[in-house]
């Protein structure tokens, strides 16, 4: 669409992704293309000046000299937030988006997840009063941590965290939900929680963080997998989500069930990220106005 691709065609974005990514990288890349932003990328720190001993902070300040926005994925917890603060105190206070920071946070995934939930429940009373069941590696899955925090600000959402004992949700999230008076529970029995769930949010085991090989996978992984049999226990208006990539935690046999929304969820990411970038550059009202005038 010409209107959208002209909107920010004078802007350049740096995609600094020094941790593996397919969906998040490509959806941000596509979001930039939709809005006409010209993207550049670093995906391998081995070919940047960090190999000459430059600090991450100095690399990011270098990007800020050439670009109008930085989109960053990093294995370092808290680093994007720190750099956003640092850059906001320089003479070039450009926006920086967190595209996943270590085991900590993945805020744009939470936005696309909320959007997917809202669209999914449009015809069944909206997102309020729903029960969201999280399953998998909740200790190190940053998508769950971000979504759980965001859901705490929506009315009367019940949250259940199903994981083996050694992968249970972090105490910091428990403390935050408690302080916000969220109705939540923690269980090791995923299968028992399925019938009462409105949304099931599956995640993979994040074994790249293991200290020793196989450390986190010594449990029956099928206890934390969603199978074709489980579909029978699931409500008709309920949905199954996954941030992807998946392993065996969702049986591919259920991919064509209308309640399996993870492919739609992934595509929503591109549009939600486009909307976020347009908002950051103050062009969101124009888009709303354009569509009101042209799509009547
Ligand atoms: C997730 C991530 O990177 O945290 N993927 C994504 O961004 N869609 C989930 C994962 O890697 O398991």
Q: What is the pLDDT along the chain (296 residues), one digit of tens a residue?
A: 799 999 999 999 999 999 999 999 999 999 999 999 999 999 887 777 777 888 888 988 888 899 999 999 999 999 999 999 999 999 889 999 999 999 999 999 999 999 999 999 999 999 999 999 999 999 999 999 999 999 999 999 999 999 999 999 999 999 999 999 999 999 999 999 999 999 999 999 999 999 999 999 999 999 999 999 999 999 999 999 999 999 999 999 999 999 999 999 999 999 999 999 999 999 999 999 999 999 76
Best of 74, 104, 106, 242 to mutate for ligand 1, by most ligand atoms within 8 A of CB? 106
**Alpha carbons 207 and 225: distance in angstroms, whole number:** 16
Query: 277 is written with which tokens?
Result: 């970038």
Packed helices 262-280 and 284-294: angle between N→C axes, nearest 10 degrees: 110
Query: 244 is written with which tokens?
Result: 């992807």
**Alpha carbons 174 and 78: distance in angstroms, whole number:** 19
**Alpha carbons 209 and 216: distance in angstroms, whole number:** 9
- pTM across the whole model: 0.96
CB 243 near ligand 1, within 6 Å: yes
User: Could you say which of 18, 24, 143, 160 is catalytic?
Assistant: 24
Cα Rg, the chain, nearest whole Å: 20
CB 244 near ligand 1, within 6 Å: yes
Query: What confidence score (pLDDT) does residue 296 get?
Result: 65
| 23 among known catalytic residues | yes
């Amino acid at each position: 669409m010409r209107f959208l691709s002209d909107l920010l065609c004078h802007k350049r974005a740096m995609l600094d992704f020094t941790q593996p990514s397919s969906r998040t990288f490509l959806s941000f890349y596509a979001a930039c293309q939709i809005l006409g932003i010209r993207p550049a990328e670093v995906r391998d720190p081995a070919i940047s000046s960090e190999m000459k001993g430059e600090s991450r902070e100095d690399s990011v300040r270098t990007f800020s000299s050439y670009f109008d926005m930085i989109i960053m994925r990093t294995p370092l917890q808290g680093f994007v937030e720190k750099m956003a603060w640092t850059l906001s105190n320089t003479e070039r206070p450009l926006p920086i988006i967190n595209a996943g920071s270590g085991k900590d946070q993945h805020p744009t995934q939470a936005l696309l997840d909320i959007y997917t939930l809202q669209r999914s429940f449009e015809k069944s009373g909206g997102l309020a009063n729903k029960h969201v069941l999280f399953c998998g590696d909740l200790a190190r899955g940053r998508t769950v941590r971000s979504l759980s925090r965001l859901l705490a600000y929506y009315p009367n959402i019940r949250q259940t965290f199903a994981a083996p004992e050694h992968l249970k949700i972090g105490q910091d999230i428990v403390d935050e939900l408690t302080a916000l008076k969220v109705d939540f529970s923690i269980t090791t029995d995923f299968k028992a929680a399925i019938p009462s769930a409105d949304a099931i949010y599956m995640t993979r085991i994040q074994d790249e963080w293991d200290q020793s090989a196989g450390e986190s996978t010594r449990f029956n992984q099928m206890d934390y997998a969603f199978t074709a049999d489980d579909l029978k226990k699931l409500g008709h208006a309920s949905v199954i989500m996954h941030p992807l990539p998946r392993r065996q935690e969702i049986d591919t046999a259920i991919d064509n069930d209308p309640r399996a929304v993870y492919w739609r969820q992934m595509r929503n990411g591109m549009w939600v990220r486009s909307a976020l970038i347009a908002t950051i550059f103050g062009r969101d009202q124009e888009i709303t106005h354009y569509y009101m005038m042209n799509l009547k």
